[in-house]
Amino acid sequence: MSAPYVSVTVTGYNDNPPPDDGTESEENRILWETIKEKLPDPLKTAIEAVNTNIGTAFGKVVGGAGVVSSAISATVGATDQGKLYRATGGGITITTPDAASVTSPFVFGFLNSATSEVTLDGNGSQTVNGAASVTVPVGGGGVVFTDGSNWFIVGLGGVLAGKQLMHSDIINGTITQTTAANAVTFALKTLAGNDPSTDDPVLICFRNATTGTGNYVYRSVTAAVSTTVPNGATLGATDTVAFDVWLALFDDAGTIRLGVINAAPPSQTPYALAQVPPIATSTTISNLADSAKTFYSGTGVTSKAYVIFGIAKYLSGLATAGVWNVSPDTLQLFGHGIPAPNVMKASDFLIPKAAGYVTFSGGAPVLTAGFNVSTTITDNGPGDVTLTFNTAFANTSYVVTTSYDLEGGATGRLKNVLVHTRAAGSVRIRVGEATGVADTTIVLGDASFHFACFGTQ
């Protein structure tokens, strides 16, 4: 096929008019009947043909033609010039027209709208980009040209699969949350806010579920993914106590399951979400899903690879644990700079989150200075105090450092300041001899100790 636009030639036009000597005579008079077929009619015919040919030409260029879809292997036709040829069936082969028959220029658009790769094959022995065929990934495509002998596609693009994605990368995915009937539903959506589909997939990179195999597994999510935490399921939370619901996506042999977990309940060692390898088991969720540090999903899975998806923070907890009648205060996608529950940031150990200076005035402990510590100190006995944090730590895995001022000045006895017990919201400290027994003689006003706490809140 030649160029989309076919030039128009004016036919019937008389470019040799009779001589005119300039005199006003009957011979020199211009009459419509004598020029109609020599000027107006040919121009009219030519202009109408130009309009027709322009319309036809625009129908043969990319952006001006229509869309052809095929779910089975097929060959692009000569009449498909300028059209977008859309492959909707995974694994099929779309063959180009015969370049020698359609000739150059001939252009068409190509798009893989299937759920798996498709092949663009050159007609007969003709090549595509120098090869017998090219593999077009999900979402990939481009504009296909011919030089009259072979074919060329530019702008393939498509799914970042097999080479570009890193582990736990999620492309075109986001979280939504809805609350209804005292239940909460978390869902994977596209950036457009829709359920994933073949036309708008979400792309995820998992590790292989076999621990001895170290390669990546790439998934294109093309269907709705969600999990509902039903009314009555506490996930191990307690009334009015802050907690987080961590979200994970499991690769169940190609079916993606959304899992939820209360990974870091107060006063407990957090679940190792960032474990290596990230492979876990989940329990089918129900109104009896009441355990912390347990994955729950709509359908349970066994030893499947997962990626951390996001976090829903309930800063004030639920008034009644298991009654999901409020939305989370924060809904956050997981990503760079957001530590998993079992991962502490360097800043957690560089900047104290609670600190103070405690003196014993007449035997009674007094917080002389400090921050994030209540001025009300629990006196458990001489040299034995419990300090309560205004803002609790995320768990008990925080660091406490202490120092002691010599009782009685330079001639005083050296004491040990020992952490007796830790809770997320408080720490119990004893000042005593090297044996660790609280010193029952501490009553002097100059007896004092300092403390600082480092960790995640």
Domain boundaries, the chain: 67-154, 170-333, 348-454
Single out the residue of 294, 308, 303 nearest to residue 249, CA to CA: 308
Structure tokens, 137: 């990934």
Q: In the prediction, which pLDDT does 444 show?
A: 36
Alpha-carbon distance 50 to 130, whole Å?
38
Question: In 33-80, where do the E strands start and end?
Answer: 67-70, 74-75
Backbone φ, ψ for residue 3 (5° rounding) = -55, 150
Q: Name the 3-class secondary structure at 272.
A: coil
Q: Is 381 helix (H, G, I), strand (E, B) or coil?
A: strand
Q: What is the pLDDT of residue 74?
A: 95
* Pairing label, strands 84-87, 67-70: parallel
User: How much is the pLDDT for 197?
Assistant: 84
- Identify the CA nearest to 224 among candidates 298, 165, 286: 298
Indicate if 348-454 has the same CATH topology as 67-154: no
| pLDDT tens per residue, range 412-443 | 555 677 788 889 899 998 876 544 444 444 43
Strands (E) in 316-353, as ranges, are 330-333
Write out the two tokens for 258: 């959304």
Tokens at residue 165, please? Answer: 């994605």
Domain 67-154: assigned CATH number: 2.60.120
Q: Which residues of 373-403 are buried (b: 16+ CB within 10 A; e: fewer)?
A: bbeebeeeebbbbbbbbeebbbbbbbebebe
Query: Furthest-apart CA pair in the chain: how many Å?
Result: 143
User: Among candidates 377, 439, 379, 385, which has minimal Cα distance to 412?
Assistant: 439
Q: Is it true that domain 348-454 has CATH number 2.60.40?
A: yes
pLDDT at residue 225, as a whole number: 97
C-alpha to C-alpha distance for 179 and 356, rounded to whole angstroms: 42
| pLDDT of the chain, 457 residues: tens digit per residue | 455 655 666 666 666 666 666 667 666 666 667 676 766 777 777 777 776 666 566 555 665 567 899 999 999 998 888 888 999 998 999 999 999 998 888 889 999 988 888 999 999 999 999 999 998 888 889 999 999 999 999 987 654 444 567 777 888 899 999 999 999 999 999 988 999 987 678 889 899 999 889 888 888 898 999 999 999 999 999 999 999 999 999 999 999 999 999 987 776 777 777 777 899 999 999 999 999 999 999 999 999 999 999 999 999 999 999 999 999 999 999 876 666 665 555 555 567 888 888 877 666 788 888 888 998 889 887 778 899 999 888 888 888 988 876 555 444 555 677 788 889 899 998 876 544 444 444 433 345 788 888 887 7
Q: Distance (Å, rounded) from C-alpha 228 to C-alpha 230?
A: 6
- Give pLDDT, residue 267: 64
Contacting residues for 250 by C-beta, under 8 A, at least 6 apart = 256, 257, 258, 259, 280, 282, 297, 301, 304, 305, 306
Please tell me the predicted confidence (pLDDT) of residue 233.
97
How many other C-beta atoms are found inside a 10 Å radius of the C-beta of residue 10? 14
